[in-house]
Structure 1
Amino acid sequence: MKYTPWFVRGIVILLIIIVALTSCNKEENEAKITIGEVTRSVFYAPEYVAVAQGFFEEQGLEVEIQTTAGGDKTMAALLAGSVDIALVGAETSIYVYQQGAEDPVINFAQLTQTDGTFLFARNTEGSFDWEQLRDSTFLGQRKGGMPQMAGEFALNKHGIDPQSDLELIQNVDFANIASAFASGTGDYVQLFEPQASIFEQEGRGKVVASFGTEGGLLPYTVFMTKQSYLNDNKDIVQKFTNGLYKAQAWVDSHTAEEIAEVISPFFKDIDPAILVSSVNRYKEQGSYATDPIIDEEEWNNLLDVMSAAGELKERVNLNAIVDNAYAEEATKSK
């Protein structure tokens, strides 16, 4: 048996101790955050880029993403404390505020700045005209949710009353809307990407209009958390926003092909060509916010859309449930 000198054994033991201590320190220094996202969509590409490119990790954050299908479920998860931060429509924070919550939900970083749904028609013949929706069956989104309100806003803009000029279906759960349309329900449906492109590839119809283009700029999807969490974790929220802003800048400066490649692990069952076309659709219409700041003009547009849908008790001042301090600080770090 070969003899190992005592000093060699000592060095090995020392190295093991150093590695162990380093690992412990890394775990202690990393802050863990659980995000509840309203759906898994290419619409949220910057979020996945921040994880995949290590921008959150650079900030000392370990981020876990949970998909909690539907705005109501996502907000319920946030209020219950099962997630730390929610990625959901800003309208949900307004609903909580309107109910007089003692611990209001605060919007601190914007991810998308347009609606993310597309009008998908089952009939692919001829050119599209909004008048074709009259007397049709429209498979809509959840009442009071941002997709539905943005859809109604666009329909009204083109002289179509969604309550009287067509048959509006709103009793299908958010997670089952695509499958309901695939099974034959509705002449038209609102779809996010990549589902819209998948249905086009499958020959189920075609995208005929963009609600994002129709509705203009607004804080459509926002990272938000409870005021109590914000008060206790200011440093974590700042680091999170820093990582997000770096991802937003990365998305803004890279091609759809490059973005699709980076986010592909989050969409393992999606054809790479579909990912590229989906990202490209959102980039072309400017859906991805280039910074996390929620500005007043966009906020007021959101209130206008909610008011038109009859879902706003009274207009909520931007500063009541929006804290741009983290976003503004993050933009200084570029």
Structure 2
Amino acid sequence: MRVMRYAAGWIAPLFIFLALLGGCGGDGQTHKVRIGEVTRSVFYAPQYVALEKGFFKEEGLNVELQTTAGGDKTMTALLSGAIDVALVGAETSIYVYQQGAEDPVINFAQLTQTDGTFLVSREPMDDFDWSQLQGAVFLGQRKGGMPQMAGEFTLRKHGIDPQSDLELIQNVDFANIAAAYASGTGQFVQLFEPQASIFEREGKGHVIASFGTESGRLPYTVFMTKQSYMKKNDEIVQKFTNAVHQAQKWVQEHTPAETAKVISPYFKDTDLDILESAVKRYLEQGSYAESPAIAEEAWNNLLDVMEGAGELKERVSVAELADNKYAEAAVQASPSP
């Protein structure tokens, strides 16, 4: 009887230990991963879903998120080791490569697959035509950043030279563009959500076109890390990608209202109906990637956009700066219904 009582005393704790072990990604450890996101936007809804629904935790990852406003600042944080993973435009990895980095930055999980900005005007324009931008004052984005390059790509597609056919303003810091437009700078502006929907509600602007629809599929925002980190933390990168794919599926399988509710803690000053409107817009134009893999066709379109903006020194293949093995494994392990 003493043996039975002794066994009963340690069997329950053993089961608790095994349960905890299973909740730590299978190796008994919780791994810390620091993400730096280029901005806070509904455009990145799947990332916030992965955090709020516990998909990272299920993989044994303790993820810390910080906003490192602007692509240049985000990449500086990654290269300096201040963050482990960057959520930023794939073009930044190409810039690092062009500078001859010994430790290149590798893209491993795509989050968004189109541009996320919308063309906003001060007045409603129900019959808008791109030719109406001729001679206008256009408040653009940072030179060399994906929003600006995708914007210029779209303008050229419609026969408008962004340097000579309109007055292009590019000296406003990324974080202050919305405020500058609200204060009266420019007739037109490129805005991400939820700012575009907020301006519509407040009567400060009207969405008249989508740069995402116009510029086509792009590896627009991607999770990336240094090659050295990837080599040392192969399993962590895989677990991270697994969680991202789970979130991508969740967003596709739920309504904009449900997604808005889940991500609302990251937008405490934004009403739920605004968040829902923003998510709906991005879903309708296919901005949220359904797979973390980066397609060669989308990568080549990115190179075309960069080339058109004069920011590409030489074309680099997707195989050079993207590793799809993590995405492919994540999709295979969790196929869509």
TM-score category of the 2 structures, normalised to the smaller one: over 0.9
Distance 2:164 2:43 in 1: 31
- Cα-to-partner distance string for 1:75-133 (whole Å, 9 max, x where unaligned): 00000100000000000000000110000000000000000000000122552111111
Aligned to 1:133: 133
Q: Does the CA contact (< 8 Å) of 2:38 and 2:88 recur in 1? A: yes
- Cα-to-partner distance string for 1:180-216 (whole Å, 9 max, x where unaligned): 0000000000000000000000001200100000001
- Cα-to-partner distance string for 1:221-245 (whole Å, 9 max, x where unaligned): 0000000000100000000000100
Distance 2:289 2:235 in 1: 23
Aligned residue for 2:88, secondary structure, equals: strand
Aligned to 1:333: 333
Flag the 1:320–1:125 CA change in 2: closer, same or farther, 3 A.
Answer: closer
- Cα-to-partner distance string for 1:22-78 (whole Å, 9 max, x where unaligned): 79x969711010100000000000000001111111000011110011000000000
Flag the 1:279–1:122 CA change in 2: closer, same or farther, 3 A.
Answer: same
Aligned to 2:51: 51
Task: Give 1:287's aligned amino acid.
Answer: S
More moved, 120-129 vs 204-213: 120-129
Aligned to 1:183: 183
> What is the identity percentage for the equivalent residue pairs of Structure 1 and Structure 2?
70
Flag the 1:125–1:286 CA change in 2: closer, same or farther, 3 A.
Answer: closer
Matched residue count: 318
Are residue 164 (structure 1) and residue 164 (structure 2) matched?
yes
Aligned residue for 2:34, secondary structure, equals: strand
More moved, 118-127 vs 45-54: 118-127
Aligned to 1:84: 84
Distance 1:252 1:302 in 2: 24
Distance 1:129 1:330 in 2: 42
Aligned to 2:193: 193
Aligned to 1:271: 271
- Cα-to-partner distance string for 1:251-294 (whole Å, 9 max, x where unaligned): 11111111111111111110110000000000000000001000
Task: Give 2:172's aligned amino acid.
Answer: V
Aligned residue for 1:332, secondary structure, equals: helix
Aligned to 2:216: 216
Flag the 1:188–1:88 CA change in 2: closer, same or farther, 3 A.
Answer: same
Aligned to 2:101: 101
Aligned to 1:231: 231
Task: Give 1:268's aligned amino acid.
Answer: K
What is the CA-CA distance between 1:332 and the residue it aligns to? 1.0
Distance 2:181 2:295 in 1: 36
Aligned residue for 2:238, secondary structure, equals: helix
Structure 1: which 4+ aligned runs deviate by more than 3 Å? 25-28
Distance 1:307 1:148 in 2: 13
Are residue 155 (structure 1) and residue 155 (structure 2) matched?
yes
Aligned to 2:304: 304
Aligned residue for 1:49, secondary structure, equals: helix
Q: Which runs of 5+ in 2 are unaligned?
A: none
Are residue 323 (structure 1) and residue 294 (structure 2) matched?
no
Q: Which runs of 5+ in 1 are unaligned?
A: 1-6
Aligned residue for 1:29, secondary structure, equals: coil
Distance 1:221 1:326 in 2: 17
Aligned residue for 1:34, secondary structure, equals: strand
Matches within 5 A, 1:285-300: 285-300=285-300
Distance 1:174 1:139 in 2: 11
Distance 2:144 2:271 in 1: 33
- Cα-to-partner distance string for 1:309-331 (whole Å, 9 max, x where unaligned): 11101100111111001111111
Distance 1:126 1:93 in 2: 39
Aligned to 1:250: 250
Distance 2:127 2:321 in 1: 43
Task: Give 1:272's aligned amino acid.
Answer: L
Task: Give 1:183's aligned amino acid.
Answer: S
Task: Give 2:123's aligned amino acid.
Answer: N
Task: Give 2:31's aligned amino acid.
Answer: A
